[in-house]
Structure 1
Amino acid sequence: MDIRGFISSLNITLPNALFALAAAVVSFIVIHAALLLFRRRVCKLSDERAHRPVGEVLRQTLARTSNLAIIATALLIGLSVLDLPAPWNERVRHLWFITLGAQLALWLHRAVAVTARRYFRQHGHGAEDDQVTVAHTLMIWVLQTSVWTVFALAMLSNLGINVTTFVASLGIGGVAIALAVQNILGDLFASLAIAVDKPFEVGDFLAVNDFSGTVEHVGLKTTRIRALSGEQIVISNAEILKNTVHNFKRMQTRHVQFSLRACPTTPPELAAKVPPALKRIVETKDKVNFERAHVKSLDQNFIEFEVAYTMLTADYIKFMDTQQAIILEAMQMFIDQGISTSTPPQTMLVHDQGHGGEKRGAGNVRNLH
């Protein structure tokens, strides 16, 4: 059957067919021109600093516009002006849904990739390691697969195929698979969270629960930490995120607070000289910001002085050297001031039940503090 016979079988007159063809051509020109103008506007929008993120996503998304989809849309507009029989009207409606749905899926496919890349570029701190790359790829794959799955199900439903049972089966199967691999999925999404949020990175020194060490590797399922004692600790990503993580590498300053104890019989005038002397000792140290020094407490065993200062560096060796120097100078200051750090002698009463009497004895008790 030639084209003229096919048109006659559809009860389409030649003028009507020519009008539909003209409508299709005009539609193609209008759609193509409108798309070019919109792309130019989006390019200008992407150059503006305030709207640059939105403009970049729109520009790269529109670049995924299919010429085949534009041609199909123009032809469908031409077919819409024809007086087609009922079966053909239904088929044109299905073609409309497939054409527009496929183009929308293409746009979403590109928008997901562009948005995810931009997010990782902004939050990745310039570190493109294997973990970030895998997490990036996994996130894009899951989202893009979801887009095309929804489109396929919607297309089948539009064609009259009952997908309710199929969707229910997918749901039940998905739940079963999720229950079977929930630990693996938990670690996998924990790895994704670590890659995106970056609570720690390779090289950071962490303290988690009862262990501490340097992060050597962050994988899809586990994180490997080299402990101070030398062994490697392997912990699942989900488990490490359930606990409070102390990241010492990101420490900028270190707050230090310690106590010094002296004999409680120290005269008040001598005790009053200790806080100013401790202040002078601390203030002479490099990269130290003195906060306070006070007499904290007094009881029958000792008088306690409390000192607090801030180290302006996170270097642990520098902190220990400074702390050692302060304590040694404080010890010398106690000696110079004549302040004893020993506890006073204590008297013990010993009751001798065998002779019905008491014995008195005195002895020195070692200061355990």
Structure 2
Amino acid sequence: MPYWETLTDRSLWLQLGILVAVTLATYLLLSVMLRVVSRQLAQRDKGSQSRFFHFASELLRSTSQLLIFAFALMIGLKTVDLSPRWESAMSHGWFIALAFQIALWLDHAVKLWTDSLTRDGKARNPVTTTLLGIIMRLVIWTMMLLSILANLGVDITAMIASLGVGGIAIALAVQTLLSDMFASMSIGIDKPFEIGDFIVFGDVAGTIEHIGLKTTRIRSLSGEQIVIANAELLGQIVHNYKRMNTRRIVFTFGISYHTPVEKVREIGAQVKRIIEGTEKTQFDRAHFFAFDESRLTFEVVHIVQTASYNEYMDIQQEINLELMETLRNMEVEFAFPIRRVEFIGGDLPEVKVAGMPEQTTAANASPYGGAS
């Protein structure tokens, strides 16, 4: 009979009806509001340069329907009479649902941020982006779990301490791996080089092919792939030639000591004319530099306006060819090494050639008239 009385209790059915009606109405209202606001933000995003409206619209779209229903149910429960025990449970339920939803929003925000980094057309380290995303998500969900446990009355101090001790033990066990991982993250954040850059360090020169979690792979000029740990690579002095906007070139050439002074004076002006007439380079100076062995040395400086090594070599080749033609027209000779040997006193050594008959010459004749 008590069960029958419960089933026929009008006040109970009235409260249940109010609960269902308020829950459904609240659920529909919240869903429609989120959909309308999300659509309005998406329309504003089309005419805006900022990514804020796009992020806000995507976050609202990612709202969990189950958690919306949970919020609607708790709002419905507020309209009926409940025992103090259920009131306490509802207060915890509000916090748990809100914590889960905030964690979901933050998780989706991290995903949108990492996706935006890979779609903006810039070359980035994908491992660093993924690693940052994993760490940020781990922090978000860990903080959510600890906050829920603290709200439920669980003492989380000992748990945090044990996690800290366990983290230190794991870090000591894999410190080499962690150092390379953090080096990879440092490469991704600081960007000393990126995929496709041509770098030189030590006796290695090549193009970055892949920046991994532990190692970086470089394709050398001779063709082989060089693999180096990230932490070791960051410990090197790295020359990044792809980021070199200009190239200062210094070269010398020598002319003969027989060149007249007037022509020596004219050579500097001719070199200036040649470089200024060459594209993608800027003349700096050209001077008669030094009296070197066997030649008069000129030093020339010009600034190549390109980072490409092949283009630089084409420019230098054109300058060299023009310089050869100009000096030939001026009847100026390039210098070449000359050695003069002078014998002072004594006799020249006798030279014998195989197959030639021995002859007495004036050079080896005795000064007294006899054969030596």
User: How far does residue 78 in structure 1 lie from its aligned partner after superposition?
Assistant: 2.7
Unaligned runs of 5+ in 1: 346-358, 360-369
Task: Give me the whole-angstrom Cα distance separating, in 2, the residues matched to 1:115 and 1:95.
Answer: 30
| 1:72 counterpart = 2:70 | yes
Aligned residue among 267, 273, 286 for 2:266: 273
TM-score, structure 1 length as denominator? 0.73
Aligned to 2:230: 237
Once the two structures are TM-superposed, the CA of residue 48 in structure 1 deviates from its matched residue by: 2.2
Question: What is the aligned partner in structure 2 of residue 36 from structure 1?
Answer: 35
Give the match's secondary structure for 2:228. strand
Quickly say closer, same or farther: Cα 1:290–1:64, change in 2 above 3 A. closer
Give, as a single letter, the amino acid of the residue that structure 2 aligns with 1:118.
Answer: S
Aligned equivalents of 1:4, 1:252: Cα separation in 2: 89
Deviations 1:77-120 (A, max 9, x none): 23234454432222111111111111111222212111210122
Q: Residue 272 of structure 2 contacts residue 286 of structure 2 at CA under 8 Å; is this kept in 1?
A: no
1:159 aligns with 2:131: no
* Structure 1 residues 2 and 185, CA gap change in structure 2 (3 angstroms): farther
Q: What is the aligned length?
A: 336
Does residue 1:293 correspond to 2:303, yes or no? no
Structure number, greater radius of gyration: 2
Contact 2:114 2:130 in 1 (8 A): no
Contact 1:270 1:337 in 2 (8 A): no
TM-score, normalised by the number of residues in structure 2: 0.73
Q: 1:249 to 1:144 in 2, by over 3 A?
A: same
Which of 304, 308, 314 matches 2:301? 308
* Letter in structure 2 aligned against 1:240: L
Structure 2's unaligned 5+ residue stretches are: 345-372
Identity of aligned residues (%): 35
Superposition RMSD in Å? 4.0
Structure 1 residues 140 and 2: CA distance shift in structure 2, 3 A = farther
Query: What SS is found at the alignment partner of 1:233?
Result: strand
Which residue type is aligned with residue 206 of structure 1?
I
Within 2, Cα distance between the matches of 1:236 and 1:223?
6
Deviation at 1:272, TM superposition (A): 2.3
| Partner residue in 2 for 1:351 | none
Aligned counterpart, 1:319: 312
Check the 8 A contact 1:262/1:343 in 2, yes or no. no
- Quote the Cα distance in structure 2 between the aligned partners of 1:145 and 1:39: 27
Secondary structure of residue in 2 paired with 1:122: coil
Alpha-carbon distance in structure 1 between the residues aligned to 2:39 and 2:319: 68
Distance 1:139 1:31 in 2: 33
Residue matched to 1:179: 172
Shift of 1:29: 4.1
In the alignment, is the contact (CA less than 8 A) between 1:264 and 1:343 conserved in 2? no
Question: Whole-Å Cα distance in 2 between the matches of residues 332 and 113 of structure 1?
Answer: 63
Counterpart contact for 1:270–1:339, Cα < 8 Å: no
User: CA–CA distance in 2 between the matches of 1:231 and 1:37?
Assistant: 57
2:91 matches 1:93 = yes
Q: How does 1:53-132 map to 2 (within 5 A)?
A: 53-122=51-120, 124-125=122-123, 132=126
Indicate conservation of the 8 Å contact 2:282/2:305, yes or no.
no
Are the counterparts in 1 of residues 214 and 230 from structure 2 also a CA contact under 8 Å? yes
Aligned pair in 2 of structure 1 residues 119, 317: CA closer, same or farther (>3 Å)?
A: closer
- CA separation in 2, counterparts of 1:317 and 1:136? 34
Q: Is the CA contact 2:19–2:80 (under 8 Å) kept in the aligned structure 1?
A: yes
CA separation of 1:231 and 1:112: change in aligned 2, threshold 3 A: closer
- For residues 278 and 142 of structure 1, the distance between their equivalents in structure 2, rounded to whole angstroms, comes to 60
| Structure 1 residues 25-80: Cα deviation after superposition (integer angstroms, max 9, x where no partner) | 543343233223312222222222324x2222222221222222122212212323
Q: Which residue of 1 aligns with 2:214?
A: 221
Q: Is the partner of 2:267 in helix, strand or coil?
A: helix
Secondary structure of 1:309's partner?
strand
Contact 1:293 1:307 in 2 (8 A): yes
